[in-house]
Amino acid sequence: MENYQKIIEDIYLDLKNIDDVGKVADYIPELGEVSADKFGINMTTIDNKSFDVGNANEKFSIQSISKILTLTLAYKLEGEKLWERLDVEPSGNPFNSLSQLEKDKGKPRNPFINAGAIVVCDVLIGHLKNPKKDFLDFCREISNNSCLNYSEKVAESEKACGYRNVALCNFIKSFGNIKNDVDEVLDFYFYTCSLQMSCKELSQIFLFLANDDFITNKGNSIITMSQAKRINAILLTCGFYDESGEFAFRVGLPGKSGVGGGIIAIHPDEYCITVWSPKLNKRGNSYKGMLFLEKFTTKTASSIF
């Protein structure tokens, strides 16, 4: 166990001062304000041992990592019927592409590209009384963490310049695959993306994907074991947009990135690990985060393959 602590510290020191060719996302003004040299890691095992280094306890904008949480709740509420409205195939395209959606007639390739996550939000609105509140409650319960919250500032900032997402949502609506009002769906979507969490909080909230026997403090199970495995499968094939194959190849774990610079990865039956470093590579994934995880699974020989 000390071993894990030492390994993450060693890699942290190796990478801390490397030349980072990435760039902080600035398409949402609020994200551009984060200090580029933040670097934090947390690893939490399924028996809740936790290992930290760097800025592991500082909150940041989890952005697309929230797509796992909205998917989980929608899958729980809707069951397998969910897949009538979105697919589980890697897209082979950037995260906000419209071309493919045109060919596929408004059915998004998977829940981890923007188009898919927007459809998931539309599904949730059909089930929840107060979507924003209910979803936040769900996140708080599965993480046993009542301080989770949205950043209104980030949500509003994104709403003010999210033309591409407005385009996506209207485009899908034109195919009939959005049932609710476009503005309501997007408002909810932008809020889910604005969740703020630290590395440690992220590792903890995703333990339900690593631990087959997971139950919340209130004694509830989240989703079935089979559903959790399936979410892991989609993460592996689709979690990193058009770099999903690369992540599977180099890191070998199911995972998901966000443009805030966070990456979470899951080793089923063992642990969750979260890395945060805001500079992104060309495909929108944390440059140092990917490097860290590659070194980590190599040193610990812990890929799923």
Q: List residues binding a copy of itself (CB under 8 A).
A: 87-93, 97-103, 109-110, 163-164, 166-171, 173-174, 182, 225-226, 228-230, 232-234, 236-238, 242-246, 248-249, 252, 254, 268, 298, 301, 303-305
Cβ atoms of 276 and 40 within 8 Å: the answer is yes
Least distance (Å) between residue 112 CB and a copy of itself: 10
Smallest distance, a copy of itself to C-beta of residue 141, A: 23
Q: Which is nearer to a copy of itself, 40 or 254 (CB)?
A: 254
Q: Measure the CA–CA gap between 155 and 34, rounded to whole angstroms.
A: 15
Instruction: Tell me the residue length of the chain.
Output: 305
Closest to a copy of itself by CB, 174 or 220: 174
Residue 91 exposed, middle or buried by CB count within 10 Å (0-12, 13-18, 19+)? buried
How many other β-carbons are positioned within 10 Å of the β-carbon of residue 199?
A: 30
Q: Which is nearer to a copy of itself, 36 or 98 (CB)?
A: 98
Query: Shortest Cβ distance from residue 183 to a copy of itself (Å)?
Result: 11
Q: How far is 161 from 181, CA to CA, in rounded Å?
A: 19
DSSP state of 84: G
Cβ-based nearer residue to a copy of itself, 89 or 184: 89
**Nearest Cα residue to 131 out of 192, 68, 66, 52:** 192
Q: How far is the CB of 218 from a copy of itself (least distance, A)?
A: 26
Residue 58: CB minimum distance to a copy of itself, A: 30
